[in-house]
């Protein structure tokens, strides 16, 4: 039996560049894992793949854990089956990459379960067949992502303290891209400043934006209100993660009390997390 944690992520800045001929979008974003996780238990089964996730209302064959396990078994000719028990803590459809993190954890966990040594690079290549952001979760940490989100440059990100607000509903990434495509693509602020570059002048503070906010805040003005109020508490930076629905605020010990007071006053569901 193997027990694993699948860590969530945030997007620190996200710039949509254009729509590709294959239907995907080119983008630039910085990904960072945070210490909010789902829990998985993997054990051998007589045959086939079984996924148990009591708090998920989808068919197991639509679960990315199932797809990851079946892909792994086919790729490496594994006749034995696997039973996966998944406990969800990462909100679904919240822009935190929970499903992709779970799939990556399954790929890594099956290597351990079947006593196989598989390099991260090989697992990352396999992960691309599941989803564009799954390869990132094989390694985790922080990475600058380009292309569909699968061209990764990993780097060391200083530890950041965050307050993560969840509004209680999900937002479909597919829907968000469809809504964005209805708008004309315009110039977005540069997100390269998250990675130090001696050739560029240093910028003060966060000069980042998430392109999805232009669409999401139109349809969910409650999220814009929360962002505005969080900034008013003194949070250093507040942004939608991915296509939402979660919003995160960068904080420290001096700004945390004000952020807590506001979020508690509206009865919010929120998490106090750090980047890892």
Angle, helix 221-232 to helix 256-265, in steps of 10 degrees: 140
Give yes or no for a contact between 245 and 215, defined as CB atoms under 8 angstroms apart: no
The number of helices, as runs of H, and strands, as runs of E, in the chain is 8, 10
Token reading at 234 = 């003194």
Q: Which of 9, 15, 108, 227 is catalytic?
A: 9
Catalytic residue among 15, 133, 150, 227: 133
* β-pair type (49-52, 81-87): parallel
Strand order in the sheet with 247-251: 237-240, 247-251, 161-166, 269-274
Check if the beta carbon of residue 145 is closer than 8 Å to that of residue 30.
yes
9 is catalytic: yes
The DSSP 8-state label assigned to residue 210 in this structure reads B
Show the tokens assigned to 187: 């110039």
The kind and range of the H/E element at 19 are: strand 2-19
Residues annotated as part of the active site: 9, 133
């Amino acid at each position: 039996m193997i027990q694993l944690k699948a860590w969530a992520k945030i997007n620190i800045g996200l710039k949509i560049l254009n729509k590709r001929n294959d239907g995907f979008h080119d983008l630039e974003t910085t990904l960072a894992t945070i210490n909010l996780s789902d829990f998985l238990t993997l054990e051998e089964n007589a045959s086939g793949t079984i996924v148990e996730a009591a708090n998920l209302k989808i068919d197991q064959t639509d679960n990315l854990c199932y797809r990851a396990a079946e892909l792994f078994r086919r790729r490496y000719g594994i006749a034995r089956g696997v039973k996966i028990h998944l406990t969800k803590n990462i909100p679904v459809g919240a822009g935190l990459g929970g499903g992709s993190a779970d799939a990556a954890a399954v790929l890594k966990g099956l290597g351990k379960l079947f006593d196989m040594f598989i390099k991260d690079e090989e697992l990352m290549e396999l992960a691309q067949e599941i989803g564009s952001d799954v390869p990132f979760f094989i390694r985790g940490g922080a990475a600058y992502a380009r292309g569909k989100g699968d061209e990764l440059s990993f780097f060391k990100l200083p530890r950041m303290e965050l307050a993560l607000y969840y509004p209680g509903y999900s937002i479909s990434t597919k829907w968000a891209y469809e809504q964005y495509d209805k708008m004309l693509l315009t110039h977005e602020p540069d997100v390269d400043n998250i990675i130090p570059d001696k050739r560029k002048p240093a910028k003060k503070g966060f000069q980042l934006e998430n392109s999805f906010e232009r669409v999401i805040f139109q349809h969910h003005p409650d999220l814009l209100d929360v962002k505005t109020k969080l900034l008013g508490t003194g949070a250093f930076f507040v942004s939608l993660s991915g296509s939402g629905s979660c919003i995160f605020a960068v904080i420290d010990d001096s700004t945390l009390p004000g952020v807590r007071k506001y979020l508690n006053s509206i009865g919010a569901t929120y998490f106090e997390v750090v980047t890892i």
